[in-house]
Amino acid sequence: MIKTIITFIIVFGILVVIHEFGHYYFAKRAGILVREFSIGMGPKILSFHRGSTTYTLRILPLGGYVRMAGIADDEDEDLKPGMPMSLILDSNNKVTKINTSKKTTLYNGIPIEYLDSDLQKELWITGYENGNEEIVKKYNVDHDALIIEKDGTEIQIAPEDVQFQSATLWNRILTNFAGPMNNFLLAIVAFILLAFMQGGVATNSNQIGTIQENSAAQRAGLKANDKIVAVADKKTTNWTELTTAISSRPDKKTDLKVIRNGKTELIVITPESSKTDSTKTGKIGITVKMDHSFINKITYGFTQSWSVVASIVAVLVGMFTKGVSLNDFGGPVAIYAVTSNAASYGLASVVSLLAFLSINLGIVNLLPIPALDGGKLVLNIIEGIRGKPISPEKEGVITLVGFAFLMILMILVTWNDIQRYFF
C-alpha cells in the first residue's frame, strides 16, 4: 500500500513537473511573467520566491499549474475599497511589497486603508495612511513589486508589458504547445531508459532469445537462437505469428520446423495450457530475441513512442465513431490502480507506465477542448486567421465552459473508476 502510494506520487509528480516546466520555460523565453509555478493543488504547504516566480508545493498531488500573467485564470484577488493592507517602500518611495494577508506581518510596513490602484499600466495605489481619512495618499508602485495574497503567497504584480497577450502570437503558440511537447519528450527518454534497463530491444523475429527452465521448450530440446519457421505446418516469419500459432494449441502435440545452425530440424512439442480470463492459451517457455546494439536502444525511444501515439489516436477515433463510454476514460483512481499493478512488477514496469501515461497526458491535452492546451491552440489559430485576438471576455467564457465540462467529466470518471476498481 505504502509502496503504491509513493510510486503514484512520484510518477504523477514527474508527469506534472515535466509538463508544466514546458509552459514555464517557453513563457520565460518569450518574456511572459510566470507568477507562480505550483506542484499540487489546493491549500499551500510551502512556497518561496526566486527571480520573478513564486514556487509553491500544495497539498493535493493531483496536478499542478503555471500561473502566467494576463491569462484568464490569473486574476488577482479583489482589491476592494476599505480593505486594510500594508506597504513597503524603497529609498525612492516606490512600493516594493503590498501585503493583503492577515497571516503575514510586514515589519516597518505602512498601514493603509485601500482606495484604488492601477497595477498594470500606470502602476500606482492610493489609500488612507495610518487611518487618516483627511488625506488620500498616492504611491508609485515598482514594476517588479510583490503582492502578498490572502493565503500568504508572495507573487509579483503583472504589468501589461509582461502579460501573456503582450508576447507575439508565435511565442504564445509555443508556450501553449510546450507542455504536451515535454510529455512526448519524457516518453522518448523513458522508453530509451527502459531499453537499457532490459539490456536491449525485443525484435519481432521468429528467433528464440532464451529458454525458460523446466519449460516445454527445454524438455523438447529447443535451444537459444533457434528459428521456428513453422508451427503445425503453418509458416511463421515473425514473433507475433509465432506466439499466435503456439497460443492456439494448448495441450496439443505440435510439430515445429526449426532452423538450427543452418540445418532444418523437426521438433515435436506439447504447449502447456495457461488460463487467462477463462480462455486457455498455449505456451512453451521461450522469450523473444533481443537486439543489444546501442543505436537500437536509442531509436527504441522514438519508435515505441510513435507506436503508442498511433494506438492511442486509433482508440480516440474509435471512441468517437463507435460511441463513447465512461469505461474508455481513466482518472486518478484508475492511474492509482494501474500504478499498483506496475509497482508489483518492479522498476522497469513503472518506467514503462510513466512513458505510456506521459504520452496519454500529452495527447489528451492537445484535444481541442477549451481550458486544455489544445483549446488554447485553437484560439491561437483563430487569432492568426482573424488577424486579431478574441476579446478577453469571450475567451474567459469559453474557458469557463470548458473548465466546467472537464470538472463534470472528471467527477463522472472518478466515480466510475471507484466502482470499477473497488466494488
- List the CATH number of the domain containing 271: 2.30.42.10
Q: Are residues 216 and 243 in the same domain?
A: yes
The amino acid sitting at 271 is: P
Question: Which tens digit of pLDDT belongs to each residue from 72-125?
Answer: 666 666 788 999 999 999 999 999 999 998 887 888 899 999 999 999 999 999
* The three cell numbers locating residue 406: 472537464
Give whole-number Cα distances, 118 to 10, 46, 113, 334, in Å: 42, 29, 16, 46
Q: Are residues 402 and 319 in the same domain?
A: yes
Query: Domain tally for the chain?
Result: 3
Q: Are residues 328 and 350 in the same domain?
A: yes
Q: Are residues 268 and 302 in the same domain?
A: no
Q: Pick the last residue of a domain from 258, 288, 318.
A: 288
Confidence of residue 56 (pLDDT cuts 50, 70, 90): very high
Grid coordinates 498601514 are at which residue? 111
Q: Are residues 304 and 214 in the same domain?
A: no
Give the strand pairing for 110-118 and 124-129.
Answer: antiparallel
Tell me if 59 is assigned to some domain: no
Q: Are residues 249 and 315 in the same domain?
A: no
* The three cell numbers locating residue 345: 512488477
Q: Are residues 302 and 398 in the same domain?
A: yes
- Catalytic pick among 20, 36, 149, 395: 20
> On the CB side of 408, how many CA atoms lie within 13 Å of its CA?
6
Tell me if 121 is assigned to some domain: yes
Tell me if 345 is assigned to some domain: yes
Q: How far apart are CA 103 and CA 345, in angstroms?
A: 47
Confidence of residue 161 (pLDDT cuts 50, 70, 90): very high
Q: How far apart are CA 84 and CA 103, in angstroms?
A: 13
Question: Which tens digit of pLDDT belongs to each residue from 373-394?
Answer: 999 999 999 999 988 887 777 7
Average pLDDT over residues 349-364: 91
* The three cell numbers locating residue 270: 506439447
Tell me if 359 is assigned to some domain: yes
Q: Are residues 208 and 266 in the same domain?
A: yes
Q: How far apart are CA 300 and CA 305, in angstroms?
A: 8
Backbone angles phi, psi at 349, to 5 degrees: -65, -40
Q: What is the largest CA-CA distance in the chain?
A: 106
Grid coordinates 508489483 are at which residue? 344
More confident position, 197 or 315: 197
| DSSP codes of every residue in 384-413 | HHHTSPPPHHHHHHHHHHHHHHHHHHHHHH
Q: Are residues 151 and 221 in the same domain?
A: no
Position 14 pLDDT exceeds 90 = yes
Position 417 pLDDT exceeds 60 = no
> For residues 392 and 220, is the Cβ–Cβ distance under 8 A?
no
Tell me if 3 is assigned to some domain: no
Q: How far apart are CA 241 and CA 282, in angstroms?
A: 14
Tell me if 331 is assigned to some domain: yes
Question: Which tens digit of pLDDT belongs to each residue from 275-284?
Answer: 766 788 889 9
Q: Are residues 106 and 221 in the same domain?
A: no
* The three cell numbers locating residue 165: 497577450
Confidence of residue 42 (pLDDT cuts 50, 70, 90): confident
Determine whether 278 is exposed, middle or buried from the number of CB atoms within 10 Å of its CB (0-12, 13-18, 19+).
Answer: exposed
Q: Pick the last residue of a domain from 288, 318, 351.
A: 288
Q: How far apart are CA 20 and CA 365, in angstroms?
A: 12
Q: Which domain covers residue 396, as residue numbers? A: 294-422
Tell me if 49 is assigned to some domain: no
Tell me if 413 is assigned to some domain: yes
Q: Pick the last residue of a domain from 119, 134, 157.
A: 157
Q: Are residues 246 and 278 in the same domain?
A: yes
Question: Which tens digit of pLDDT belongs to each residue from 246-299?
Answer: 999 999 999 999 999 999 999 999 999 887 667 888 899 999 888 889 999 999
Position 414 pLDDT exceeds 70 = no
pLDDT for 327: 59
Question: Which tens digit of pLDDT belongs to each residue from 327-346?
Answer: 556 656 666 667 777 777 78
> For residues 152 and 104, is the Cβ–Cβ distance under 8 A?
yes
Grid coordinates 543452418 are at which residue? 262
Indicate if 113 belongs to the active site: no
Mean pLDDT is highest, among 120-124, 201-205, 330-334, 411-415, for 120-124
Q: Are residues 418 and 324 in the same domain?
A: yes
Give whole-number Cα distances, 296 to 192, 306, 329, in Å: 9, 15, 33
Position 227 pLDDT exceeds 90 = yes
- Look up the pTM and report it: 0.81
Q: How far apart are CA 118 and CA 268, in angstroms?
A: 86
Confidence of residue 413 (pLDDT cuts 50, 70, 90): low
| Helix (H), strand (E) at residue 54 | strand 53-68
